[in-house]
């Protein structure tokens, strides 16, 4: 989006009619007082003590936000340990028998860890890591699927002050090697393998291949037995259960960490190019995720809460592990896939565990819609009190389906915008305070200053697309921003001028803001299309398409320029449909976009496809679609969750042109 295009931006369709939270929800909400916005504003940054004070500090912080030159340090002077906050303090407060992690495996196996049991195993594994030579500040790489040993290893690292770097289990040996090299990580925890849809995945052999590509030695690797195929262990390799047995009942004194010491490192999900490492702090990050789990997800200690993300992504770190456990609730963990053995697996688990709060992604919701409401209808979902989404823009139709068919019209839906870089939620409604507008994430959280600005950095007027920036520090900000290692994104062409700000972070997302201050996120700035000099957000066009009856998902990219030489791109739409729908939707799609966005934005080419290419974290990979559209070499498709769709797309597109 080049700044000189600003004046030509089309108006964006306003989000659909607001929905108010039911009185019964508001009455019990953790945060129900609308004055909270003003209170935070008047008392910034001290207002953030409300988040910091949710934690137990080994030594109290002296300042909520310390500024020294260009650095901004949250909870300066404070010392704490994340594993104490997630475990010890709940055990000491008489909740040792409360279930911390309730795990469901692939083949109907289940395991539950009480806070006491979890603390014990965390200490036993922390003692094991120490025995293997792990010291404070050594980076430990965790390459495991969704098994309880993953959060156990994370908390064990946290206990001894060793930052963890979780690498998504589905990643290749190359991806693991790149991340271990980049982090200079000499310790690895992995597993022998696991089953995915009934087929064994040999995780250990991927890890072995990665080791061959490292530019340093691995000091020790720990292997959890999950497949049980008798995978042999080599030099400097250790069996997890042997280690635990050897350290049975060990106690490990938690290492006090400074608020701004690193808790973990995580690589961005990488829809584009090289993965970037993001380091998060101990005090600011943990406060931010605990506070947002409490105020936005409305989590109470007595709840059963389920976030269906993978711990390999930031959502799992913040809202399966650290946020919920800091609040002492029961966090459900699910190893399998949502359609195995049946397409009602998610609803069966919600019923079985009587889940109170459920947090998932729009891509999952659109899959549920495609499968049909008969699957949720088979189950009693009345335990649900609140629903949440994260990861991509959610189109109003999917929002309403979720609200109605999963929440029975009675659960508020929080559409939470945030990123790996922000650590925790930034823009969303507080469910006990504000009305929701389907399709729009909502206002920035109290104490968060997020704005939509034009190319010159000026706040933008109602409903025009602009750049989403955050112009005040927030507790969950990464260490690079704490230390002022350039929060300014390098000035690329088409990025806004940020010179007028004292302090600013550009999210690289585009968005609009309405007259009530509700922000609608349109996706990455690269996802804008220039049609004859008019800029459209792909998300707006996609929303119009996916809101058409019969459509499940849509992705829009710009195609080759039209031959009339005006330099205008053609609009390509890739559309997947529910069963029983197909080609006849073509006219409806064009009409929907023409009416809801603009006739200019109506797709020139519509390709119907059974599925869209997705990243491993479930986001639509537009970069890949753009390459398919241009007929470019696709290069490495191993970052895709479903590489098989690429061939199907190539042949579908050939028949369209």
Query: Residues in the site for ligand 6R9, rule: CB under 6 A?
Result: 268-269, 313-315, 390-393, 415-420, 441, 507, 509, 521, 523-524, 617
Residue 418 Cβ vs ligand 6R9, minimum distance, rounded to whole Å: 5
Residue 5: C-alpha distances to residues 1, 8, 54, 468, 641 (Å): 7, 5, 45, 16, 35
Residue 309 Cβ vs ligand 6R9, minimum distance, rounded to whole Å: 8
314 vs 349 by CB, closer to ligand 6R9: 314
422 vs 598 by CB, closer to ligand 6R9: 422
148 vs 362 by CB, closer to ligand 6R9: 362
Q: At 428, list the tokens.
A: 């969303």
* Contact between 397 and 386 (Cβ < 8 Å): no
Residue 584 Cβ vs ligand 6R9, minimum distance, rounded to whole Å: 30
| Burial class of residue 576, CB neighbours in 10 A (0-12, 13-18, 19+) | buried
539 vs 649 by CB, closer to ligand 6R9: 539
207 vs 314 by CB, closer to ligand 6R9: 314
Residue 383 Cβ vs ligand 6R9, minimum distance, rounded to whole Å: 24
Q: CB under 8 Å to 391, separation ≥6 — which residues?
A: 309, 315, 361, 362, 363, 617, 618, 619
* Contact between 150 and 144 (Cβ < 8 Å): yes
Residue 130 Cβ vs ligand 6R9, minimum distance, rounded to whole Å: 32
User: Rounded to whole angstroms, how far apart are CA atoms 570 and 557?
Assistant: 9
Tell me phi and psi for residue 626, to 5 degrees: -65, -40
* Contact between 120 and 249 (Cβ < 8 Å): yes
Residue 390 Cβ vs ligand 6R9, minimum distance, rounded to whole Å: 5
* Contact between 285 and 423 (Cβ < 8 Å): yes
User: Rounded to whole angstroms, how far apart are CA atoms 301 and 30?
Assistant: 11
Decide: helix, strand or coil at residue 73: strand
474 vs 608 by CB, closer to ligand 6R9: 474
Residue 277 Cβ vs ligand 6R9, minimum distance, rounded to whole Å: 13
80 vs 311 by CB, closer to ligand 6R9: 311
Of 513, 437, 514, residue with least CA distance to 20: 437
268 vs 577 by CB, closer to ligand 6R9: 268
Q: At 230, list the tokens.
A: 């008798």
Q: What is the DSSP string of 174-232?
A: HHHHHHHHHHT--EEEEES-EEETTEEE-HHHHHHHHHHT-SS--SEEEEE-SS-S-PP
Residue 498 Cβ vs ligand 6R9, minimum distance, rounded to whole Å: 17
Q: At 142, list the tokens.
A: 């965790």
Give the alpha-carbon dihedral of 555, 559, 562, 563, to 10 degrees: -150
Neighbours of 365 (CB within 10 A): 22
476 vs 523 by CB, closer to ligand 6R9: 523
78 vs 393 by CB, closer to ligand 6R9: 393
The residue number with the shortest CB distance to ligand 6R9 is 420
Residue 191 Cβ vs ligand 6R9, minimum distance, rounded to whole Å: 24
Residue 494 Cβ vs ligand 6R9, minimum distance, rounded to whole Å: 16
């Amino acid at each position: 989006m080049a700044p000189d295009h600003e004046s030509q931006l089309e108006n964006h369709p306003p989000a659909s009619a607001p929905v108010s939270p039911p009185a019964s929800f508001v009455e019990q909400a953790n945060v129900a007082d609308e004055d909270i916005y003003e209170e935070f504003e008047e008392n910034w940054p001290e207002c953030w003590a409300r988040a910091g004070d949710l934690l137990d500090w080994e030594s109290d912080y002296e300042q909520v936000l310390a500024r020294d030159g260009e650095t901004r340090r949250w909870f300066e002077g404070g010392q704490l340990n994340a594993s104490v906050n997630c475990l010890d303090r709940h055990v000491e407060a008489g909740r040792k028998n409360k279930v911390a992690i309730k795990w469901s495996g692939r083949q109907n196996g289940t395991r539950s860890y009480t806070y006491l049991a979890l603390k014990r195993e965390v200490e036993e594994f922390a003692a094991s890591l120490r025995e293997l030579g792990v010291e404070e500040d050594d980076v430990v790489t965790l390459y495991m699927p969704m098994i309880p040993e993953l959060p156990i290893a994370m908390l064990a690292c946290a206990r001894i002050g060793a930052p963890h770097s979780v690498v998504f289990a589905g990643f290749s040996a190359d991806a693991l090697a790149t991340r271990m090299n980049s982090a200079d990580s000499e310790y690895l925890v992995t597993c022998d393998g696991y089953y995915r849809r009934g087929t064994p995945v040999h995780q250990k052999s991927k890890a072995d291949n990665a080791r061959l590509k490292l530019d340093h030695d691995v000091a020790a690797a720990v292997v959890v037995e999950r497949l049980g195929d008798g995978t042999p262990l080599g030099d400097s390799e250790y069996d997890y259960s042997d280690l635990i047995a050897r350290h049975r009942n060990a106690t490990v004194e938690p290492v006090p960490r400074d608020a701004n010491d690193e808790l973990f490192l995580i690589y961005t999900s990488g829809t584009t190019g090289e993965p970037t490492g993001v380091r998060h702090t101990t005090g600011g990050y943990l406060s931010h995720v605990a506070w947002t789990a409490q105020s936005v997800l409305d989590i109470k200690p007595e709840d059963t809460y389920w976030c269906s993300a993978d711990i390999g992504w930031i959502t799992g770190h913040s809202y399966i592990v650290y946020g919920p456990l800091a609040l002492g609730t029961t966090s459900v963990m699910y190893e399998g896939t949502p359609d195995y053995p049946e397409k009602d697996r998610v609803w069966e688990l919600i019923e079985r565990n009587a889940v109170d709060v459920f947090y998932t992604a729009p891509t999952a919701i659109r899959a549920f819609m495609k499968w049909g409401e008969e699957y949720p209808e088979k189950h009693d979902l009345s335990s649900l009190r609140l629903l949440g989404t994260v990861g991509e823009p959610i189109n109003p139709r999917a929002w309403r389906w979720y609200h109605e068919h999963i929440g029975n019209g009675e659960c508020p839906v929080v559409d939470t915008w945030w990123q790996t870089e922000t650590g925790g939620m930034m823009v969303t409604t507080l469910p006990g305070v504000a009305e929701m507008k389907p399709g729009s994430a909502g206002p920035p959280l109290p104490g968060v200053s997020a704005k939509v600005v034009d190319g010159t950095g000026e706040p933008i007027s109602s409903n025009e697309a602009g750049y989403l920036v955050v112009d005040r520090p927030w507790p969950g900000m990464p260490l690079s921003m704490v230390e002022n290692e350039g929060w300014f994104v390098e000035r690329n062409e088409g990025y806004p001028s940020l010179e007028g700000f004292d302090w600013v972070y550009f999210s690289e997302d585009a968005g609009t803001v309405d007259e009530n201050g509700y922000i609608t996120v349109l996706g990455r700035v690269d996802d804008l299309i220039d049609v004859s000099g008019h800029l459209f957000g792909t998300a707006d066009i996609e929303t119009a398409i996916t809101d058409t009856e019969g459509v499940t998902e849509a992705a829009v990219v710009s195609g080759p320029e039209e031959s009339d030489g005006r330099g205008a791109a053609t609009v390509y739409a890739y559309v997947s449909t529910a069963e029983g729908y197909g080609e006849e939707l073509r006219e409806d799609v064009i009409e929907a976009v023409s009416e809801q966005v603009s006739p200019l934005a109506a797709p020139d080419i519509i390709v119907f496809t059974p599925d869209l290419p997705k990243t491993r974290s479930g986001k639509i990979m537009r970069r890949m679609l753009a390459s398919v559209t241009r007929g470019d070499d696709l290069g490495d498709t191993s970052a895709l969750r479903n590489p098989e769709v690429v061939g199907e797309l190539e042949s579908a597109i050939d028949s369209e042109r």
